[in-house]
Chains A and B, each alone.
Chain A
Amino acid sequence: MLINEIEAISVGLSNDAAIIATDYRVLSKTNEYPVLYTGINDYNSRIIGSFIEEDDDDWTVLYYIHFILKPADYISFTSNRITYRDIFQLANRAYIVKRDFASLSVQGITLVDASKISGEYWPHAKSYFPQIRKTPSLNYSVSLTGGIADNHQAFLADSITIQQAVYDFLEESIDNLPNLAVSTEILELAPANGSFKFFFSVNIKFDDKKQQDIFYRENLFSLYQNELIEYSIKHLPTEVSQVYYGNETPQYFAELLKSAKDLYTKLGQTIEESELITSLKESIQNIAHNLVKASKSLGPNYSALEFNTVSGELSQDTHTESLGSITADSRAGLTGAVDFIVSIASRKPQPVTEEESHKYKIRLYNLNTESRKGSAILVEENGNVLKFKITIAGNFPLEETKFTQSLYKKNIIDVLAKATRFGDKITRLNIES
């Protein structure tokens, strides 16, 4: 029996309750059309709908089924307590919706008795709410909730601390990626209603404009950065000793490392795994340190600090994905992790920066003329090649200087700089001239 052959029932009401008016959101789709979606109708009820079948004869027609759900049932579904199949079995009524293949516009609605829908139309027994992939967005919202925040208030000192801390880690986590000619620019957008919420947007700037287009389309950085933040909030406390002391790669750290490696692969860049691990550890430490700082006001005045990525219009906050939430309890775990990292670090050599400038012969292989940051190599007398980051002081334009010449023509140049060393190894050169 075809779905459009099920007998219609009439209850003297129009069928427009089946139409999604707002908050339409696709939860699962094939390359061709949406398979599962949700939204709200004009009467403020939750609708969930899914694809049933294509019309056998008319190639432009698709049949969908819509259910109107009680809020509690929808929450049970999103929290994996019931499956989509359970919804088919719980429902008394369903709407069969005829839609246009391309525009998805509704061409007809039939109300049917849900018990008349035969088992062959039921979804799979394990049709749990789909795992939504992280929105690849570099837009973030950070909210204080509970306490005075629920009255849209926060103490100014607390709000400034949060903004500074978030700014620090958003900027550093991308800038700290080795060997990429990128820098970041952090925008803060006007706060919005809803407890007490801040909006941040990260812009990534590339030296090479051609690269910029490719990078933007792929949203590679956002995937990486979101995982990095999520890792620091959710998994660092349990994995900290393995990562920072045991030099192991436990499960979640391994996933994060894979995502960072993917970023380089997709950019067509090579990177040593050890270099990447060092960079990741630095970034995680920095994020954790700033998260502890940002959440220090949790307690009597606020109950939680939530981090989300936001896609679509930032201010409307339509689609958010949680990266994690810090409460007074989980903050203790993070503080412990930061203390642990600091105590481990204190047993190792600390970076030392020279007080006086010295001459160095270097060759640049990477330079962002706007941020004045880049990377260079230096060949020591014994033949060792050192790779390190550089920063060029001053504000004179860098175009057509010895620095860009070194970059493009591979010249070895003399610079006057202060080196930062980690043991014997140079990790950074602050170039004065």
Chain B
Amino acid sequence: MLAPSKWLGYAYIWPRENRYRIGYMEFTNITNGTDCLCLDSAAEDTTSIYLHYIDSPSAKIRDFASKWERYEKSRPEELPDKEECEEICAWKGVSVNKIDGYDEDEVYRVYTEPYRFLSEKERNKRRILKFTLGTDTGVVKHTPNEEHESHHDLFKCDDFNITNLVTIAVTKIEFE
């Protein structure tokens, strides 16, 4: 029988090494198939504003597919080394960039600049989604990358539903 061991902010942490439950959310999709503790230092954040690329005017499930999910059907040889937890966890997460505490224009630039080199077709299709994580969507972990320090991994909970994300704006990628 599992019982909450301590009260940490708004999240119950169950006393398990590879914990799969934060608050009322379950994360078996994150803990399955790996011993890596991807959810360590990840936390719920329903107030900060995040950015993410989407492929059409409204977010679809494919837009929020992690690498792990993309390879659902043909997993084997594509998997990173079992030992490389950083890499495995990156596969389990979805890349988002946080705006709060960072220079918003700069983060937008990081998102849009690559699109100068992409086709008109892609530029017309793609959008930048500005959103907050609603309740029961998942947890985020700060994972700065080469592109920008604001990079976070979003670990979706098992009941993740795209409609629970709170859309603030959807911006077309345009240049002068």
Contacts and interface: CB of A to CB of B under 8 A. Distances in A.
A binds B: yes
Given A30-B53, A32-B95, A102 B118 contact: no
Interface string B65-89: 1010111001000100000000000
Given A59-B62, A101-B70, A103-B78, A53 B122 contact: yes
Nearest to A3: B119
A35 B114 contact: yes
Interface residues of B, number: 31
- Most chain A beta-carbon neighbours within 10 Å: one of B97, B115, B176: B115
Contact of A31 (B120, B123, B151): B151
A60 B69 CA distance: 10
A29 B71 contact: no
B70 to A, nearest CB: 4
A124 B118 CA distance: 7
Contact of A122 (B69, B70, B119, B151): B119
A36 B122 CA distance: 14
Contact of A50 (B70, B117, B121, B149): B117
Closest CB pairs A-B (n = 3): A31-B95, A35-B114, A59-B70
Given A35-B115, A53-B121, A121-B120, 7 more contacts: A28-B113, A35-B118, A52-B119, A119-B120, A123-B117, A123-B119, A130-B113
Contact of B117 (A31, A35, A59, A60): A35
A51 interface: yes
Contacts, number: 87
Contacts of B5: none
B119 A53 contact: yes
B144 interface: yes
Contact of A124 (B65, B69, B123, B145): B123
Contacts of A101: 67, 70
Interface string B35-72: 00000000000000000010000000010010101110
Nearest to B94: A31
Nearest to B125: A53
Interface string B89-118: 001000101000000000000010111111
Contacts of B145: 31
A121 B69 CA distance: 28
13 contacts: A31-B95, A35-B115, A50-B117, A51-B122, A53-B122, A59-B71, A84-B117, A102-B67, A102-B71, A102-B91, A121-B121, A126-B175, A128-B116
B147 interface: yes
Contacts of B116: 28, 84, 123-124, 126-128, 130
Nearest to A84: B117
A424 interface: no
Contacts of B111: 30
B114 A36 contact: yes
Contacts of A100: 78
A120 B20 CA distance: 45
A130 to B, nearest CB: 7
Contacts of A123: 116-119
B78 A30 contact: no
B118 A120 contact: no
Contacts of A119: 120
A347 interface: no
A103 B74 CA distance: 13
Given A31-B151, A101-B70, A127-B116, A120 B121 contact: yes
A29 B116 CA distance: 11
Contacts of B67: 101-102
A60 B97 CA distance: 23
